[in-house]
Structure 1
């Protein structure tokens, strides 16, 4: 295979069912579109059903005959996560692919309906719970995958702050985002360790580099003047940003526990390849502690 992996390298997805969170815009939309274009049935798991239907219409325009389904899912509410999982479990006996993509970045301090800090609650805990509730639909399927989207931000002011996980004592939006994206990687690595021996399902992570999406809307005021400069140097289009996710989701050569990102300068842009995550992301003791805390906070335990 050529070094430059593109959408053209996605193998046929006919017969596969994919669930993509945050699929109404940005990276999630491009991921869903490309999967549908290669024959997958795609569930657009979105907070706003009207936006999801609009996204499904856009995919149908680009991909005649696309098989898309809109599923309401609000990752800021564990009740919504449970309802969505129950509806998906009722509708489908098996799931081939779960793409944990939806996320928020740098919002002012807010909490989810369950009282979690918004970034940690949405980016990590919501996806942790969704995965745990759907995993038994994936375990019987050879080649099934859980792909979780992290970020370059997992290196920036990032640590799992067990003494103040929800930022109640002190909140810094950049540090909180870094914690949530570090948690995405630690979740992937610990899930993969638990999946060893199943022989069917693998857990993989990916990041888009600097992708030009509406995730940037909460950029702090002090950095806002730099956004056009950063965009010119270190960002790429949403279709390019989706490529590492798509490779993690579909490339037959992918192995569990791998991490995919762009091949360019500082992994900010380019074509997808295997990349390295930070040293602390591989701390197994912290991974396991985070897993236990996440089970306790969400009330969700995994069938592995």
Structure 2
């Protein structure tokens, strides 16, 4: 008997609609989602997945806020199996500690969703000496994936290849591209364009997400599938921060009153914004498209910049990241 045809997902599809449509794919799956504060994309992703999945592990750097997310998901989805894991992506020591705790559990992980990002719009250097936006969006997710990679491999079966999802942004195409030189990647000079214009650094960090997915897909062929995506333009907490508002107003993203500018783009709700992440994590129609970039729930490699489509750039970023972290990631 053939399986029923899956619905077409698009701009207006919500994460819960995707979860319901792919309930059979989600059943029994264990998923880790980073950056899951209530009201954000990661939270909505975790909530929608928890409706049908076996276990959802959510992470955040603040234990109290993380527990609020756990309670909110359990209230929204009675019976959901949700587990909290404290993880501060601005600290490599915290990443290592979290990975150690995750690895103690014998439960395999079927999917990792790297959703967290630094949206403070304030230049900062981490305790490890790395510029914070790149640390949170790329260095730490790279290290976490490496450290818990055996947990992913343990979920593989004849019917399932583990997935890693990188939540990038259209911002990856809104700039000159990522500077793949070691000093700039790690910590740009104080007088560099990336420090003077922190949106440019966000652009680089989101470009790194796309390149990481591309190289992970290539190196992990047969073992793992990887995808990056643009969730849409959404009025999240990151756009409401005082430090971010002036830059967003200057670009026309926000109006003078700080509210979303409908003339800039067609905005998505948070529920719509999380849909593409759930698609990337579970849609079987992507099985032969590892490395793809998704927009509005479908493959959109044509919207990926030339820089972010270049396999040589992806390989270079991988090697530079290994150099920054001081260790190799061999699949």
**TM superposition score normalised by structure 1:** 0.91
Alignment of 1:7-18 (within 5 A): 7=18, 8-12=20-24, 13-18=26-31
**Structure 2: distance between partners of 1:73 and 1:231:** 35
Contact 2:30 2:53 in 1 (8 A): no
**Structure 1: distance between partners of 2:206 and 2:311:** 16
Q: Which has the larger radius of gyration?
A: 2
The alpha carbon displacement at 1:39 in A equals 2.8
The alpha carbon displacement at 1:302 in A equals 2.1
**Structure 1: distance between partners of 2:203 and 2:176:** 4
Give a deviation string over 1:126-151, Cα, whole Å, max 9, x none.
Answer: 11111111112112322211001100
Residue number in structure 1 paired with 2:281: 249
Q: Structure 1, unaligned stretches of length 5 or more? A: 263-271
**Structure 1: distance between partners of 2:123 and 2:90:** 14
Residue number in structure 2 paired with 1:265: none
Residue number in structure 1 paired with 2:316: 289
Q: Structure 2, unaligned stretches of length 5 or more? A: 1-5
| 3-state SS of 1:119 partner | helix
Alignment of 1:230-269 (within 5 A): 230=261, 233-254=265-286, 255-262=289-296
Q: Determine if the alignment matches structure 1 residue 214 to structure 2 residue 232.
A: no
For the aligned residue pairs, the C-alpha RMSD in angstroms reads 1.8
Give a deviation string over 1:244-263, Cα, whole Å, max 9, x none.
Answer: 0000001111131122222x
Residue number in structure 2 paired with 1:266: none
1:20 pairs, out of 18, 30, 33, with: 33
**Structure 1: distance between partners of 2:247 and 2:72:** 35
**Structure 1: distance between partners of 2:247 and 2:111:** 39
The alpha carbon displacement at 1:23 in A equals 1.5
Residue number in structure 1 paired with 2:213: 188
Residue number in structure 1 paired with 2:151: 137
**Structure 2: distance between partners of 1:10 and 1:114:** 40
Of the structure 1 ranges 57-66 and 104-113, higher mean CA displacement relative to structure 2 is found in 104-113
Give a deviation string over 1:261-302, Cα, whole Å, max 9, x none.
Answer: 22xxxxxxxxx2211211110122221111111112123432
The alpha carbon displacement at 1:119 in A equals 0.8
| 3-state SS of 2:259 partner | helix
Aligned residues: 293
Of the structure 1 ranges 275-284 and 2-11, higher mean CA displacement relative to structure 2 is found in 2-11
2:173 pairs, out of 155, 169, 176, with: 155
Q: Determine if the alignment matches structure 1 residue 2 to structure 2 residue 16.
A: no
